[in-house]
Amino acid sequence: MTSAKIFSAKARAKINLTLHVGQMGGFENLNPPRPHSPDKEALAKMHPLNSLVVFADIGDDLLARAAGTFSLNIEGAFADRLGDNDKNLVMKAVNKTSAVTDIYTKLSYVLSKKLPVSSGIGGGSADAAAALRLLGYMNNDIEPDIESILVEVGADVPVCYLSKTCIMEGVGETLTECPGLGQLFAVLINPDIAVSTKDVFDIFDAQYDTQKTTAFSQSNGDGSLLEMATFGRNDLQAAAIQIAPIIQTVLDELQAQTDCQLARMSGSGATCFGIFKTQNAADHAAKTLQDMHPDWWCVATLLGDENEL
């Protein structure tokens, strides 16, 4: 008896080069949500976003094979940082799919957790998106059925499912692909801390500045990937630094490295990225900072769509 064929998918790290955040419930000037977006009551508790998103060439790895029951096993460097499997977004994604479609979901998953947890780079969302992608592969590509529930699993799941350079808007359900913008040499650093997204948004809401809305969509501007990133900002960065001041230390040390063109936090933190002129500069910065801070997660990577450098 032969064993079932194993399918694999890469859950690439998501990086918010920019993250412009509107006031909670401020959806008056955005396109109406799609049919499977949250209802009005839920939208009132959410924030409209406009974010230039890219994906790294590193990420978690997910394997799947047909089985008699659905199961999830987690291994890897950050496996012990995750909580109960029942709360994992892979479980939520598969259970949601099973509840609303006739897709075959009895798969055995093995997740190799290589990305920091609760770190602002979409690790859990990317894992869930990879699981849904594998469901599609093993059910002869039923993308319409899968895509209908993405935003219900999590705000970052649609963009992670796409896994391409794009502008993300609304509550994450509106994506505009940005092909041809190339790639960037980068260093990603997480100072071995997890930051609560809810806590960051609570501080942001308490200090919300209406002037921020004047540049809410500026990341849609023309230009190179670096120009678009430099033109924008991350509205959650200041709030995250209040919770974890070490984020500012990471940003300062990234910016101090030779040929660093931009240093910024991704998502709600605490992972930060530095953009560098060359791969050698990025590699050197990653090694220098890792030697200085052995307890930090520090890696050189390439951001953006493949084969566009």
DSSP 169: E
Angstrom distance (rounded) from CA 54 to CA 71 = 30
Q: Is 302 exposed, middle or buried (0-12, 13-18, 19+ CB in 10 A)?
A: middle
Q: Is 200 within 8 Å of 239 (Cβ atoms)?
A: yes
Q: Is 52 within 8 Å of 18 (Cβ atoms)?
A: yes
Question: What one-letter code names the amino acid at 306?
Answer: E
208 Cβ contact partners less than 8 Å away, ≥ 6 residues apart: 23, 24
Angstrom distance (rounded) from CA 189 to CA 205 = 26
Angstrom distance (rounded) from CA 34 to CA 78 = 35
Angstrom distance (rounded) from CA 63 to CA 85 = 16
Q: Based on the residue annotation, tell me whether 14 is a catalytic residue of this protein.
A: yes
**Cα dist. 295→12, 198, 258, 292, 304 in Å?**
23, 25, 22, 9, 27
Angstrom distance (rounded) from CA 160 to CA 102 = 23
Q: Residue for token digits 């039923």?
A: 142
Task: Kindly name the residue from 14, 92, 96, 114 that is annotated as catalytic.
Answer: 14
Task: Kindly name the residue from 96, 113, 114, 156 that is annotated as catalytic.
Answer: 156
Question: What one-letter code names the amino acid at 279?
Answer: Q
Q: Based on the residue annotation, tell me whether 156 is a catalytic residue of this protein.
A: yes
Active site residues: 14, 156
